[in-house]
Structure 1
Amino acid sequence: MRLCNLWPGQARADRILTWTAGCLAAVVALALLGLALVDWNLARGPIGGFASARLHRTVVLDGPLRVHLWSLKPWATAENIRIGDPAWAGPDQTATVQRLTVQIELLSLLRGQIVLLRLEADQPVIRLRRDALGRATWDFSGGVAPKRPFRMPPIRHFQISDGRLQIVDAARHLRFDGAISAAERPGEPNRRFEMAGDGRLNGEPFHLALTGGPLLNVSADHPYPFEAHVRAGATQVDALGVVPKPFDMARFSLDLSAQGPDLADLYDLTRVALPNTPPYRLTGHLERRDRLYAITGLAGRVGDSDLAGQLSVETGRARPLLKADLVSRSLDFDDLATLFGGAPARGRGETVSAAQAAVGRRMAAERRLLPDTTLNVEKIRSLDAEVTFRADSIHAPNLPLRSGAVRIGLDRGLLNVDPLSLQLAQGRVAGSAQLDARGAVPVTTVDLRLTGARLEQLIPIQGRPLTGAVLSRVRLSGEGDSVHRAAAHAHGEILVVSPGGEIREAFAELLGVNVTRGLGLLWSKDQGVVPIRCAVADFRAVNGQLSANQIVFDTGPVLATGSGRIDLDRERIDFRIQGRSKQPRLVRALAPITVRGSILSPKIGVETGKVVAQGGISVLLAAVATPLAAVLPFLDPGLAKDAACGALIAEAQGRGAPVR
């Protein structure tokens, strides 16, 4: 009975739902019918106003507007579209389109996904500008940084007819004018997407050619292939890649190859400040994942050195962050000269660009060791970096280097090289360096220790007349925007210590200008050696002048002391070494040894003033006394004493020399 009583109420509810659904359907049908019959040209103003508010610039629809909504695949066509520049750029146009047709898939839209079934642009002209302050006409954010990169929705049918792209970028010193096309023609094979044009990049000729697969029946589930070829002066970049989900340009991958005279030239293309290098040829696999660009499988040559590893650049920060882990199996040491504004060796078989060869010729003509190329501090301040580099072997004909490793950190203009390690055939150089480019004038600081090295390795003389341990500590700091200018204002100290060793006796005697015994040992080819008790050289640097506080070279038969200085600005040296015998010697000339001239090619000589005076005294004594008296000025009673080697070495150790 109760069950029978429920049925009438249920029937009334069903009738109410049926009437409600019918009414809603009628309203929707009437709305759609109204939209289908409405004159959409009356909506051009509101649509332009809405687009202007979203794009933060004036958008005008000057031509007819046709809309077809009564479909699961609605479409719209607008003609004579003008998109203005932002207010700061003046009254020019960012883009004009003769006709634009857009068709979407309604069912995908109801699922929250935008799928463009058709996007056709006739005679689009896009003019992009960026000023020296970094303001860009393609920035539609209105000053609010987007949370994620722009992603284009999937496009099934994409057609561009007679398009042009013009770019004037003051920040990159780029001017470009190119043609764009991707059109389908009846009875012809589907044409690929093509964009090609020419211009100037940083004063050099620039050419870009970008091609892709046909833009017909593009599927979001199938990667879209493309290739790009860039020529900027002598720099050449070629790439072959895919967009995994067309056209989500926040994710793509490509195999690339690049070659050119200097990696630093890629700055205007990439906005990543890379160091100066010799000519390079590199390959690798690049992937973009949102704001991260990662290169794996990096391989090739830079100058006469091989290079391999991986690196990444994270954008979307105040400054891009470069991370790299690099290794060279065989490093040609002179290739590193370009890092400091110098030039690699220019001999036969060396790899060097024309500009670097010119720098090398100029430095050779000026007899300079320290390069004077101005450091671009703005590039250093534009990037953060975390880099490790390892050289498994080092080719350096004039230095006993074997391998090396370094870790580099760059944060807001402060570059730290710590630790730095160089392995010698015997011994090791370890320490750190810093370049502070945060202020008006960069400040360079180095702190290096030499341990476990050998004199015979650092001063390779045939026959090994000089052997023994040697260690050193270098602490220098100077202001300047080049290596030379920083050295010319350097302050600090240099300590060199040899706690013991051996020297060929003939050379020890000649160090004291003991003519008879020294020459006699040389002529007899005597290979006898005497001990080096100790050797200490202590320099203080003030405003680029390295002055010797003391120079002591104590051997068994001779104690030599010296004085002098190194002018880092003029790159000249002036030393005077006076040897004194510890034993009586006959026919000894009181002539200090001198080392003078440029750092690159000093000349060793004998100070003749005292020799002439010594000879004059001899002549005078012969005239007023006996002929035997003429020999007296050349006699040395041998009153020199041993140096206090223990105290000297202890003092050097207390001041930071790595003495054990």
Structure 2
Amino acid sequence: MTSAPPSAAPARRRRVVPSVLGILAVLILLLIVFWSWDWFVPIIERQASAALQRRVTIAHLHVRLGKVTTVTLDDVHVDQPKGFESETAPFAEARHLTVSVDAWRYIWHRTLALPLIALDAPSADILRRADGTNNYTFGSSSGGTASSGNGGGLPEISVLQITDGHAHVRDVKLRADMHIAMHTVDPKGDDRGQIIADAEGRYAGQPINGHFVGGALLGVMDARPYPIDLTVHNGPTLASLKGTLDDPMKFAGAKLALHFSGPDMALLLPLTGIPIPHTPAYNITGNLDYTRNLIQFTDFRGRMGSSDIGGTIRVNPHESVPRVDADLRSRQVDLADLGGFIGAHPESKQAAAKADSQNPSLLPNTPIDVPKLRSVNAHLLYHGDHIENKRTPLDNIDADIAIEDGAIDVRHLNFAVGSGTLASGMSLQPADQGFSTKAHVDFARLDLADIMKKTTNSAARGIIGGHFTLTSRGRSMAELMANGDGGLTMALDQGGNMSALVPDVLGLEFGNAILTALGLPSNTDINCFIADMPLRNGVATTRTLMLDTKEARTRGEGTIDFRRNTIDYALTTRSQHFTVLSVPGAIHISGPIKSPSILPGAEVLGRTAAAVGLGILMPPAALLPTIQFGVGDKGACARLVAAANDNPAAGIAPGSLTGARPAHSSANGRHPQVKPTPGKHAGAASPADVRAAWAAKTQKNTH
């Protein structure tokens, strides 16, 4: 067998090597010519779909290699998650998504740094349904978290750019449907840039538009203050927030100026999450600060209706039911502005007059909203230095009210009235039909002269003392009275002029009609007035109602039905002395409580008819039916006060808070200012002192 010469093998190898190298060169050339980063798109789609738990598609992938490598994804499309396939819009999409990676830094320092993330025309469709399900909650992912090589955490991102961004946000629970447009402004110098967003649509069923200017999105991770400037119009409500967040990621606090204005604070519920009673128009500015556990609105001041308002509100939103502590104060307050706290609704004068005419009750019949009360626990302290209200001329107001698990505890609601005090307390516990309620009101030495002077500049005078108690169940103030048990026990001492008092207290037309019907002289002084009226199942009856003057004594009997809002009452007047030409007897007041009619009784009609008939037949005899011989009992006031003290309809003797002057009265005869203590009758005289004072007064009247 013939073998190749030794030099033939190397020659063949020398011929093969160039061939292989040529083939490799061709392959490399072909790879360069035909290389496409799109080959990696399926891998990226699978990884992204698994991480987001919804299908992700990418049209193209571009990579520019270098010390800083840039990756760009074209036409990124993220489908809706399972259960939301019926939505026509995708969950998210972007025309381009560009990410720059500092490859050199990662190779040498194992630190993941992203100099740039840029989103071109990104959009998102955000939805929460009525049952609480949503399309923006992501479950756990099998993929790992990007690591920086130093223990994990977020990568270091230098710039985040958004161009022509858009989001459609819908929340059925919040009745929200908004479109939000956003974009970023590139950094300049030390400024890391800004993000600007504009929202428009509906929120809480009201039109909303808002404008937000903030620092760069990545600035929230900095340790330096993050600036924000936000203005929101939600229906008629305006809210603005401007200032800085000290360190948003660590909840280190804020220096923010917060401004609210609108026609009714109750409309703030969707923006604050805190139920507030109805109020008149308001305009308030203060400082907003926060920690991890507390949001504070401090040193705020402004107007609410015709009243000024200021103070501090603290909210802990992290409890299962948010807790609110408010310490509020007014220098000048109109009680009408606080009507929402008892169920009234602020309206224009015309609308208020129409609503009042349609409400048969004297009290507000708007139901107290139990669900809203259960959504917050609160403690309110409120003090009004001076009250301005012609119908209720009280001097100041001091309140301490707590709400816990839907129950309302009015620890005290006190008003200064001259040298006296109108003190009240109430407990409302949620029940099947609204609230189970216990309430009391104490009238402590109320100076009628001071009240009437402030309202009418009249000469009426008198000192009022007594109590009102109520145990009931209902949904509104009107229902509570209509279903209530309790009573009113009240006495008026040192009374003033009837012609000044009655028309001013009852209303000019109605009061003058009462005076005329009773036949009382236009200028007669009140010796005393006593009312002791039990309330049973919403109907007030009369144990005692007596008005004693120098000329006559008027007694009342009948009922006031708060269930039907009607009155059926009779007032009978008898002369104190032998008189001639006196027709008065009984008159009847009946009909709706708000607008009753006044009719003469049978006795008055009979006397008048007899006088007319006798005058025709025998003129001198016409005087006979008009003669009264007088009641002649000078001790009636003392006996009735004693009876009211022994068995008061209110359940509390009026002696503790009547008009007897204390021994330490000032030299000028005025009472010293009384500052009530919650749960006690401040400055109260003993029943024995009161009885002695009434006895002395009665004895004086008999001489």
Query: Residue 381 of structure 1 is aligned with which of 365, 374, 388?
Result: 374
Q: How does 1:86-165 map to 2 (within 5 A)?
A: 87=82, 89-90=84-85, 92=87, 93-102=90-99, 117-140=115-138, 155-165=157-167
2:230 aligned with 1:228: yes
SS in 2 for 1:398: coil
Query: Residue 54 of structure 2 is aligned with which of 55, 58, 77?
Result: 58
Render the CA deviation track for 1:67-118: whole Å, top value 9, x for unaligned. 99998x8886555555555555555444334444456789999999998643
Partners of 2:106 and 2:241 in 1: CA distance: 34
Query: Residue 466 of structure 2 is aligned with which of 453, 465, 471?
Result: 471
Question: How far did residue 432 of structure 1 move?
Answer: 1.8
Report the equivalent of 1:331: 333
The question of whether the paired residues in 2 share the 8 Å contact of 1:539 and 1:550 is answered with no
Q: How does 1:71-470 map to 2 (within 5 A)?
A: 80-83=75-78, 85=80, 87=82, 89-90=84-85, 92=87, 93-102=90-99, 117-140=115-138, 155-182=157-184, 184=186, 192-213=194-215, 220-245=222-247, 252-290=254-292, 292-343=294-345, 356-357=348-349, 359-366=351-358, 369-437=362-430, 439=432, 441-443=434-436, 445-458=438-451, 464-470=459-465
Q: TM-score, normalised by structure 1?
A: 0.75
Partners of 1:155 and 1:176 in 2: CA distance: 30
The question of whether the paired residues in 2 share the 8 Å contact of 1:153 and 1:248 is answered with no
Question: How far did residue 282 of structure 1 move?
Answer: 0.9
SS in 2 for 1:274: coil
Partners of 1:314 and 1:308 in 2: CA distance: 20
Percent identity over the alignment?
Answer: 23
What letter is aligned with 2:93? T
Report the equivalent of 1:349: none
Partners of 2:171 and 2:465 in 1: CA distance: 56
SS in 1 for 2:336: helix
Q: TM-score, normalised by structure 2?
A: 0.71
Moved more, 240-249 or 226-235: 240-249
Moved more, 449-458 or 41-50: 41-50
SS in 1 for 2:647: helix
Render the CA deviation track for 1:340-367: whole Å, top value 9, x for unaligned. 44355xxxxxxxxxx5445413124437
Report the equivalent of 1:613: 606
RMSD, aligned CA: 4.3
Partners of 1:512 and 1:217 in 2: CA distance: 80
The question of whether the paired residues in 2 share the 8 Å contact of 1:61 and 1:79 is answered with no
Render the CA deviation track for 1:551-586: whole Å, top value 9, x for unaligned. 233456644321233343554444321123444333
The question of whether the paired residues in 2 share the 8 Å contact of 1:153 and 1:246 is answered with no
Partners of 2:532 and 2:343 in 1: CA distance: 30
The question of whether the paired residues in 2 share the 8 Å contact of 1:414 and 1:438 is answered with no
Partners of 1:553 and 1:39 in 2: CA distance: 103
What letter is aligned with 1:474? T
Moved more, 459-468 or 423-432: 459-468
- For the pair shown, which has the larger CA radius of gyration, 1 or 2? 2
Kindly tell me: are residues 85 and 569 of structure 1, through their superposed partners in 2, closer, same or farther at Cα, counting changes over 3 Å? farther
Kindly tell me: are residues 358 and 62 of structure 1, through their superposed partners in 2, closer, same or farther at Cα, counting changes over 3 Å? farther
Report the equivalent of 1:576: 570
Partners of 2:292 and 2:450 in 1: CA distance: 52
2:533 aligned with 1:535: no
Report the equivalent of 2:48: 48
Render the CA deviation track for 1:246-265: whole Å, top value 9, x for unaligned. 66789654212121111111
Kindly tell me: are residues 383 and 108 of structure 1, through their superposed partners in 2, closer, same or farther at Cα, counting changes over 3 Å? farther
Kindly tell me: are residues 216 and 486 of structure 1, through their superposed partners in 2, closer, same or farther at Cα, counting changes over 3 Å? closer
Render the CA deviation track for 1:142-194: whole Å, top value 9, x for unaligned. 8xxxxxxxx9987531111221111112222221112111154999x997321
Partners of 2:558 and 2:180 in 1: CA distance: 65
The question of whether the paired residues in 2 share the 8 Å contact of 1:190 and 1:214 is answered with yes
Question: How far did residue 295 of structure 1 move?
Answer: 1.2
Report the equivalent of 1:33: none
Question: How far did residue 297 of structure 1 move?
Answer: 2.0
Partners of 2:304 and 2:62 in 1: CA distance: 58
The question of whether the paired residues in 1 share the 8 Å contact of 2:41 and 2:58 is answered with no
SS in 1 for 2:462: strand
The question of whether the paired residues in 1 share the 8 Å contact of 2:239 and 2:260 is answered with yes
Kindly tell me: are residues 392 and 341 of structure 1, through their superposed partners in 2, closer, same or farther at Cα, counting changes over 3 Å? same
Render the CA deviation track for 1:199-233: whole Å, top value 9, x for unaligned. 12344321111122456888713323221111122
Query: Residue 656 of structure 1 is aligned with which of 630, 652, 656?
Result: 652
What letter is aligned with 2:354? R
Query: Residue 583 of structure 2 is aligned with which of 589, 596, 605?
Result: 589
Q: Size of the alignment, in residue pairs?
A: 585
Kindly tell me: are residues 182 and 94 of structure 1, through their superposed partners in 2, closer, same or farther at Cα, counting changes over 3 Å? same
Partners of 2:219 and 2:315 in 1: CA distance: 34
The question of whether the paired residues in 2 share the 8 Å contact of 1:76 and 1:101 is answered with yes
Question: How far did residue 290 of structure 1 move?
Answer: 3.3
Question: How far did residue 547 of structure 1 move?
Answer: 3.1
Question: How far did residue 438 of structure 1 move?
Answer: 6.0
2:560 aligned with 1:545: no
Q: How does 1:491-510 map to 2 (within 5 A)?
A: 491-498=484-491, 500-504=493-497
Partners of 2:477 and 2:212 in 1: CA distance: 41
SS in 1 for 2:434: coil
Render the CA deviation track for 1:569-624: whole Å, top value 9, x for unaligned. 55444432112344433333242244456555666x56153222124445677899
Kindly tell me: are residues 466 and 610 of structure 1, through their superposed partners in 2, closer, same or farther at Cα, counting changes over 3 Å? farther
Question: How far did residue 240 of structure 1 move?
Answer: 1.4
SS in 2 for 1:537: strand
SS in 2 for 1:238: strand
Kindly tell me: are residues 251 and 311 of structure 1, through their superposed partners in 2, closer, same or farther at Cα, counting changes over 3 Å? same
Partners of 2:348 and 2:86 in 1: CA distance: 45
The question of whether the paired residues in 2 share the 8 Å contact of 1:381 and 1:437 is answered with no
Moved more, 96-105 or 206-215: 96-105
What letter is aligned with 1:271? G
2:560 aligned with 1:562: no
Partners of 1:126 and 1:471 in 2: CA distance: 67
The question of whether the paired residues in 2 share the 8 Å contact of 1:367 and 1:600 is answered with no
Partners of 1:292 and 1:116 in 2: CA distance: 35
SS in 2 for 1:176: strand
The question of whether the paired residues in 2 share the 8 Å contact of 1:156 and 1:219 is answered with no
Moved more, 132-141 or 409-418: 132-141
Question: How far did residue 46 of structure 1 move?
Answer: 5.7
Question: How far did residue 301 of structure 1 move?
Answer: 0.8
Partners of 2:552 and 2:270 in 1: CA distance: 62
In structure 2, runs of 5+ residues without a counterpart are 1-36, 141-152, 502-513, 657-703
Kindly tell me: are residues 285 and 595 of structure 1, through their superposed partners in 2, closer, same or farther at Cα, counting changes over 3 Å? same
Kindly tell me: are residues 104 and 658 of structure 1, through their superposed partners in 2, closer, same or farther at Cα, counting changes over 3 Å? farther
Partners of 1:225 and 1:117 in 2: CA distance: 22
SS in 2 for 1:631: helix
Kindly tell me: are residues 220 and 109 of structure 1, through their superposed partners in 2, closer, same or farther at Cα, counting changes over 3 Å? farther
The question of whether the paired residues in 2 share the 8 Å contact of 1:474 and 1:493 is answered with yes
Partners of 1:128 and 1:484 in 2: CA distance: 45
Partners of 2:183 and 2:364 in 1: CA distance: 49
Partners of 2:65 and 2:225 in 1: CA distance: 31
2:630 aligned with 1:638: yes
